Amino acid sequence: PNNWLAVFGGAAWTYEPQREQYYLHNFLAEQPDLNWYNPEVREALAEVVRFWMNRGVDGFRLDTANYYAHDQKLRDNPKRPADSKPLEDGQEANPLSGYITKYSKDRHENIEFIHYLRKIFDEKASFTSIGEIGSSEGLDETLKLGADYVKHGDGLHMAYTFSMLSKEMNAEYFDHVVRFTEDLIEDGWPCWSLSNHDCTRMMTRFNCFDEREGFQQMMLLLLLSLRGTPIIYYGEEVDMEEYPISKEEVRDPQGIRFWPAIKGRDGCRTPFPWDSTAPNNGFNSGAKPWLPAKNVLSLDQAKATPESSYHVLCEMLKIRKAFPALQRGAFRRILIEGNSYVFERKTEAQTLLIAANFSAEEQHLKLPAKVEQDLTPQALKRSCTLNNEQLVLPGCGYFIGKL
């Protein structure tokens, strides 16, 4: 019917001989898109939602939540300009990258469909929804799109974008993503993630100047310091790295189709390492796992190491639960100086100051007020030095204090 392409390669249309019609699938041919414009389809989806709500589930994650609507005139997607910014991770090998998906996704009707679902979600108190919003049209457009899906209280309860999942990460980039989101989201609730099942793991992805463990710990602590809901991807607590998948081990359809330019997402999906002394790191003891279980560090080793990311995270989670300012306090940037970043979280009764060093070099900062209580997790070995309003942050250092 048109030139739309599927995310995993080939046309987004497959011919069905019994019906003598083509059907749309933005992803695999085995994953046909639903026609949300059909009221009978929407009602059938409502029945599915209510079925699980009645079974007691607390919420839904909506995968690729901006892909549900398409242009009803089925117009061709325009070609992407030749001078467009290069895509990460060899995605230019996928022909889809040569098009602006103007008509096959991100349609204004899509949010209307989400509003329809939200009315059903609201039939049950405390029910929640979280959506994945992905866009290849630039950082600011992605952030705007994510905010549009959660503000005004009639869309998703939360939505995360891929803005923190790029290879780029420094104080300036972090500040832009956070403040731009805060400005756009209005009355909505932010949601943050540093890794997921679709991108290279943080330990491998970021340029961490040979300080991968320290940089990851600092980023995870920042994640738990921001306003909004943090998502910790499994394995981040044990510093899971991207597994170097071989062609023979590939399971991901994207990797199978586009190898070696695009090796797929299997490297971030390997089994969780429970026990360093057990077969397959304790994931199972029988059949060969779907993907190799070969992480360097296992949970038993992380628990036995006082300064591990596991203990740093556990301590920070307790701090987050203990201080209302971290749970619902307003966000305000205080300072960005080189690769140092300082912000506050504040309620009427409580103010917390957070500082982070995105570099490997020691940073000296003058804080805006005297800190009454240092709350920095004691498991964090990159400890800071505080003298009145003077703060010394080591490389990849993090600090949190109560004013």
Residue 106 shares a structural domain with residue 187: yes
The CATH number given to whatever domain includes residue 217 is 3.20.20.80
208 in a domain, yes or no?
yes
Helix (H, G, I), strand (E, B) or coil at 343: strand
- Point out the domain boundary residue: 303, 338, 360: 303
Hey, which residues are catalytic here? 63, 123
- The whole domain housing 94 covers 13-303
7 in a domain, yes or no?
no
Residue 249 shares a structural domain with residue 155: yes
Check residue 210 and give its pLDDT.
80
Residue 394 shares a structural domain with residue 281: no
The CATH number given to whatever domain includes residue 352 is 2.60.40.1180
155 in a domain, yes or no?
yes
Residue 347 shares a structural domain with residue 288: no
372 in a domain, yes or no?
yes
Whether 268 and 242 have beta carbons less than 8 Å apart is answered as yes
CA dihedral (366, 369, 370, 375) in degrees, to 10, reads: -90
Listed residue (224, 355, 208, 239) closest to 307, CA to CA: 239
Residue 213 shares a structural domain with residue 335: no
Residue 260 shares a structural domain with residue 203: yes
294 in a domain, yes or no?
yes
Both tokens assigned to 248 = 């023979």
217 in a domain, yes or no?
yes
- Point out the domain boundary residue: 269, 303, 337: 303
Mean pLDDT by 10 residues, the chain (403 residues): 97 98 98 98 98 97 97 97 72 91 96 98 96 90 96 96 92 97 97 96 87 94 98 97 97 96 96 96 93 94 97 98 98 95 98 97 94 96 90 96 97
Residue 233 shares a structural domain with residue 84: yes
Residue 134 shares a structural domain with residue 275: yes
Check residue 83 and give its pLDDT.
83
Check residue 90 and give its pLDDT.
64
Computed on alpha carbons and rounded to an integer, the radius of gyration of the chain in Å comes to: 23
Residue 216 shares a structural domain with residue 273: yes
Residue 371 shares a structural domain with residue 289: no
Residue 87 shares a structural domain with residue 151: yes
2 in a domain, yes or no?
no
Count of structural domains, the chain = 2
pTM of the model: 0.94
Check residue 241 and give its pLDDT.
95
Residue 21 shares a structural domain with residue 95: yes
320 in a domain, yes or no?
no
CA dihedral (175, 180, 182, 187) in degrees, to 10, reads: -170
